[in-house]
Amino acid sequence: MQTRQSNFNEIVMQAIFFLSALISVLAVLAICLFLFMRGIPAISEIGFTDFIFNEKWGPVNIPASYGILSMIVGSIYVTAGAIVIGVPIGLMCAIFLSEFCPDNIYKIVKPAVNLLAGIPSIIYGFFGMQVIVPFVRENFGGNGYSILSASIILGIMILPTIISISESSIRAVPESYAEGSYGIGATKEETVFKVMVPAAKSGILTSIILGIGRAIGETMAVVMVAGNAVMPLNKIELLKPIRTLTTNIVTEMSYASGLHESALISTGVVLFVFIIILNASLSLISSKTQRN
């Protein structure tokens, strides 16, 4: 009797566990469904090429134009800038933490990296607006609200992602690799650079892709430092303002209506597609490493 009861419990609970697990799938499906449901009709109304390959964004003009090419390019530039700034520093910091850092300093640096990860993006944005923008204006010229400022702030924001994942993947390289390298007379620096880092490359690559994902999707920090000007492609410069996909949504959504609102949701769809591509490449990397 008791076993039947507990068998019954077991089955019921197992079903509940499974259903809970299915909720994530449902959530992803719902997000896809509703975003596409609202976004796709707008894209077809505007025309796919007029939406993606047109650099003119003038939703309040009559007749209105809804081209987001400039923002797609803007997002790519800003993200690339963040990678150029964030990856070398982050990777070096990861090497520092995993190979060179004395224990007592590790106790300071590691929590600092964790804290950096926990700081809300609004604080990064505010800091960027009050510090990075004037800094760029004084030292590099232009008015400070620029691709460069956005790249710097995003570069800082992706540091913790790059550092913690790269660090753990460097730590995961078997001891024997390093010993072999020392055995043939290499210095510690050479060993790290030529043996450890190449051996950890898939983990490092993962960290970079996650960093790209964070940078391309970041909104509130970018909106405060990028200046939000829609720039024609031939006028985009490092020290000039820029509008990205995310900031386009956040500055205009509150008052948009009709086709304008749908066009902004479509902007979100394009962003979503970018993220899906990034995720796909991530799982590609992880399946490759598993096979090796």
Partner 1 sequence: MKKSKLLSIITLALMLSMVFAGCTQETPGTPAADFDFDKDITVVARDAASGTRGAFHEIMNIIVKENDTEVDKLVVGALEFDGTDKVITAIEGDKYGIGYISLGSVSERIKAVAVDGVEPTVENVRSGSYSVSRPFLLVTKGTESKLVKDFLKFTESAEGQAITNEMKFIGAIDAPGEYTASGMSGTIKVAGSTSVAPLMEKLQEAYNELNPDVTFETQAQGSSQGIKAAIDGSYDIGMASRELKAEEASELNRYVLAIDGIAVIVNNENPKSDLAADDITNIYIGEITKWNEVK
Partner 2 sequence: MDRTLDNLKQRKVKAFLFKSFVWFCGILTVGILIYILLFILLKGVPKINLKFLFGEYNSETLSVFSSMVTTVQMIVLSLLISVPIGVFCAIYLAEYAKRGNKAVKVIRLAIDTLAGIPSIVYGLFGMIFFVQILGFRASVLSGICTISIMILPVIISSSEEAIKSVPDTYREGSLGLGATRLRTVFRIVLPTAMPGILAGIILAIGRIVGETAALIFTSGTNVLKNPSLNLMASQRTLAIHMYMLASEGLPHSRDMAFATGSILILVVFVVNYATTKLAGRIGRSQ
**Residues numbered 105-144 forming contacts with partner 1, rule: CB under 8 A:** 129-131, 133-135, 137-139, 143-144
Tell which one of 60, 61, 104, 118 touches partner 2 (CB under 8 A).
Answer: 118
Select the span of 11-19, 39-47, 155-163, 233-241 touching partner 1 (CB under 8 A): 233-241
- Coil, helix or strand at residue 44: helix
- What does the per-residue mask of binding to partner 1 show for 1-40, with x meaning CB under 8 A? ----------------------------------------
The residues near 11 (Cβ < 8 Å, ≥ 6 apart) are none
Q: Check binding of 100 to partner 2 (CB under 8 A).
A: yes
Residues in region 127-156 near partner 2 by CB under 8 A = 127, 129-131, 156
Q: Judged by CB under 8 A, which of 70, 249, 252, 263 binds partner 2?
A: 249
Evaluate whether 172 touches 203 at the Cβ level (below 8 Å). Answer: yes
- Choose which of 153, 195, 221, 223 interacts with partner 1 (CB under 8 A): 223
Residue 232 within binding range of partner 1, rule CB under 8 A:
yes
Residue from 84, 172, 233, 275 in contact with partner 2 (CB under 8 A): 275
The residues facing 65 across adjacent strands are 58
Q: Which of residues 49-78 bind partner 1 (CB under 8 A)?
A: 58-63
List C-alpha distances in Å: 186 to 177, 189, 192: 12, 8, 10
Q: How far is the CB of 243 from partner 1 (least distance, A)?
A: 8
Nearest-angstrom CA–CA distance, 38 and 243: 23
User: Hunting for tokens 């490449």 — which residue is that?
Assistant: 281
Residue with tokens 């405060």: 224
CA–CA gap between residue 18 and residue 8 (Å, rounded): 15
Count of beta carbons in the 10 Å neighbourhood of residue 130: 12
Angle ∠(219,86,205) on CA atoms, nearest 5: 100
Question: Which two three-digit tokens encode residue 213?
Answer: 């994902």
Contact 241, 208 (CB under 8 A): no
Say how many Å lie between the first and final Cα of the chain, rounded.
51
Is 220 a binding residue for partner 1 by CB under 8 A? The answer is: no
Q: Which of residues 21-50 bind partner 2 (CB under 8 A)?
A: 21-25, 27-28, 30-31, 34-35, 38
Interacting span for partner 2 (CB under 8 A) from 40-48, 118-126, 195-203, 225-233:
118-126
Of 149 and 161, which CB lies nearer to partner 1 in the complex structure? 149
Binding residues for partner 1, rule: CB under 8 A, are: 58-63, 129-131, 133-135, 137-139, 143-145, 223-224, 227-232, 235, 240-241, 243, 251-252, 254-255, 257
